[in-house]
Amino acid sequence: MKKTAFLSLVTASILMAGGYKIPETSTNSVALGGANVAHTKNADAAYDNPANMIFMEDAQHIEADLMYVGLSSTNFKGTYAKTLTGAEELNSEKQTFILPSLHYVSPKLGENGVRVGLSITVPAGLSRQWEEGSAKLVSQEFTLKIVEVSPSVAYKITDTLAFAFGFRAVHTNGVVKSSESAIVNASPLATSYISRDLEGSSLDFGYNLALAYHPTKALELAATYRSNVNLTVEGSAVLSSTAALGGAIPAGSYSGEASVSIPLPATLMLAGAYTFEKTKTTVELVYEKTYWSAYKSLDFEYDGSLTNPVLIAAFDNPKPKNWKDTNTFRLGITQELDRVTLRAGAIYDNTPTPESTLNFESPGSNAYSFSFGGRYQIDDKIDVGLSALYSIKKDRTVTTPTNINGLDGTFSNSRALLVSAGLGYKF
Q: What is the mean pLDDT of the chain?
A: 84
Say if CB 372 and CB 35 are below 8 A apart: no
Residue 284 has pLDDT above 90, yes or no: yes
Torsion angle, alpha carbons of 236, 310, 298, 135, to 10: -100
Q: What pLDDT, on the 0 to 100 scale, is given for residue 390?
A: 95
Q: Using the 8-state DSSP alphabet, how is residue 21 labeled?
A: B
> pLDDT above 90 covers what percent of the chain?
51
Q: Which residue range is the domain that position 208 belongs to? A: 2-426
Residue 285 has pLDDT above 90, yes or no: yes
State whether the Cα torsion 46-49-52-57 is positive or negative.
Answer: negative
The model's pTM is 0.86
Say if CB 203 and CB 170 are below 8 A apart: yes
Three-class SS state of 227: coil
Residue 126 has pLDDT above 60, yes or no: no
Q: What pLDDT, on the 0 to 100 scale, is given for residue 167?
A: 96
Torsion angle, alpha carbons of 355, 361, 362, 367, to 10: 110
Residue 311 has pLDDT above 70, yes or no: yes
Q: What pLDDT, on the 0 to 100 scale, is given for residue 15?
A: 37
**Max CA separation in the chain (angstroms):** 82
Which residues fall within 8 angstroms of residue 183, CB to CB, at 6 or more apart? 82, 191, 192, 194, 249, 310, 313, 314
CATH number of 99's domain: 2.40.160.60
Distance CA(78)–CA(347), nearest Å, equals 30
Say if CB 102 and CB 66 are below 8 A apart: no
Domain count within the chain:
1
